[in-house]
Structure 1
């Protein structure tokens, strides 16, 4: 068992305010433009991972994300939304230093039933297209989910490699293949891609680094994949932007584009507090944490007078330690429940 006290305290020296240029960009030869989607539709199907009834909960997550980005010297977050006036009014009560930028998305050409799971997430493609067109030379669009936390800045050499290749993405094929079966996931990818893929990979939607030139190739390819995705949506294992953007990334990879793996380089780690098999020390070394199971924790942090990533980290450690105790009991209960259900 690892030393929980060491984990709780080990992060503190790395989380601090650092001065950065007034322009808001990190001068590494490749600068980033962080953005996140806050698409509000009260009559659509929300995320199954979000239990809050407040549609502005995603905006509160974005406030915490922005505060954490600025705390490690990364540029201010841009929130892309379909209701900019409402978002701007909501942010009026937030301290100016914690307030992300707001971008009004132009109306989308993507059509989906509003009861589609992860309905809002599909419009991430609009954000990529519209913000990608605004990038200047040397800039990388950093596409993020709102339920994320920055722990440290991104390695400058890694950013330069992403700038050279045009793209860095989070390969989570190991997680998807083991959870749902490699045959099923690959079949979904190839169905959406419309061809047999050379080396099918599934990319997580929580982070993408892309240059303007790469986005010009990605967007039309992703739109074509979306149309195939829309026709077979009820037959797929996964609904959401990951399906058609992963398919598009695979097609571009097969066409010769190199994709930097952001997970292997610890730019990002996806952590569920209920998954206790991975050592937390690995996550501590990541630049960004995706915390889909800790949305309420991030929302509460947005309302604290002083931001502290170390405070969030300590909460994660406590949850992790508790789940290490509870997990064997859950497995034991499941082993007794399954036989009584008649399943083999």
Structure 2
């Protein structure tokens, strides 16, 4: 099977920026996509395609790049509508992207849907690609990160509200990576549209918002209906890294095919200024960002402990005053 790496760049200056984005430039995601494409070229993978609702603006940002190093560009036909104040507004349009590609991808080509704030470190394992091609879908299960952080009962409740049914084995899938055949996409998109409708209708009740909520619900429904799915995280196809987080040793990420940096967008935008992706330069900057993150986490913990201690002292003093 051939691979079609693509990423969504939905441009709307009036909408809320992504929750993890500090750059108010509506085309900042183009810069991240440039870095991603440079890293794909380095490991010998196909050129990245940027799917966007603003092809003229994006083409202008890409104009200074040599044609042979430039990401490809495809116009996205938006087929959904939602309030612009919706959290993770732009990411919702991945549903339109999947719908469009389900109808246009050749039968021998798999969609490799990636977030722009990623880098390719190693080629995807051919055996994994074949397994995903046979199953139809490869997805990144991050339940072990999401369930403990928000509480399994709350996460499962959100998934089942959006799926509009009880799920046999609810799992939460990261939106940064999806590998799917056109046939599997054609099965996934109708379920995703149904879960999207429930998601919009029940949004005030939900703790979680964004494409992960309704796509995860749709994937769970498909699996319950008998769809095979390969969990690609177990193969280190992708790892999600937050600077300063101790969830994984930083060295573990060096063995991943893709590294996702939702909190490292500025680092990737700086990397995009170079004509080629150099892993050692990237790792050097990532390590610095990680150490700074560790310091920030430590300072926050100290501040919380001091705050708790002050509250306890104040409470004890108040009790003594009441007794006296």
* Fold match by TM threshold 0.5: yes
For the 8 Å contact 1:138–1:163, the answer to whether it is kept is no
Change (3 A) 1:244 1:307: same
For 2:60 and 2:296, the matched residues in 1 are separated by 42
2-structure distance, mates of 1:134, 1:338: 57
The answer to whether structure 1 residue 155 and structure 2 residue 125 are counterparts is: yes
Give the RMSD, CA atoms, in angstroms.
Answer: 1.6
Aligned counterpart, 1:140? 110
For residues 233 and 224 of structure 1, what CA distance do their matches in structure 2 show? 14
Matched residue count: 313
Other structure's SS at 1:195 match = coil
1:59 matched to 2:30: yes
Q: 2:203 matched to which residue of 1?
A: 233
TM-score computed with the length of structure 1 as normaliser: 0.88
Could you tell me which of 35, 50, 72 is aligned with 1:79?
50
* TM alignment of 1:161-240, pairs within 5 A: 161-240=131-210
CA distance in 1, matches of 2:277, 2:119: 11
Higher helix share: 2
SS at match of 1:264: helix
Q: Does the CA contact (< 8 Å) of 2:50 and 2:73 recur in 1?
A: yes
Q: Whose Rg is larger? A: 2
Equivalences for residues 255-274 of structure 1 within 5 A: 255-274=225-244
**Native 8 Å contact 1:132 1:215 kept in 2:** yes
The answer to which of 273-282 and 234-243 deviates more is 273-282
- The aligned residue for residue 129 of structure 1 is 99
2:261 maps to 291
* 1:99 alignment partner, one of 45, 52, 70: 70
Taking a change above 3 Å as real, the CA distance of residues 115 and 31 of structure 1, as seen in their structure-2 partners, is: same
Partner of residue 212, structure 2: 242
Moved segments of 4+, more than 4 Å: 339-342
8 A Cα contact 1:276 1:323, kept in partner: no
Give the TM-score normalised by the residue count of structure 2. 0.93
Matched residue, 2:250:
280
Return the offset for 1:328. 3.4
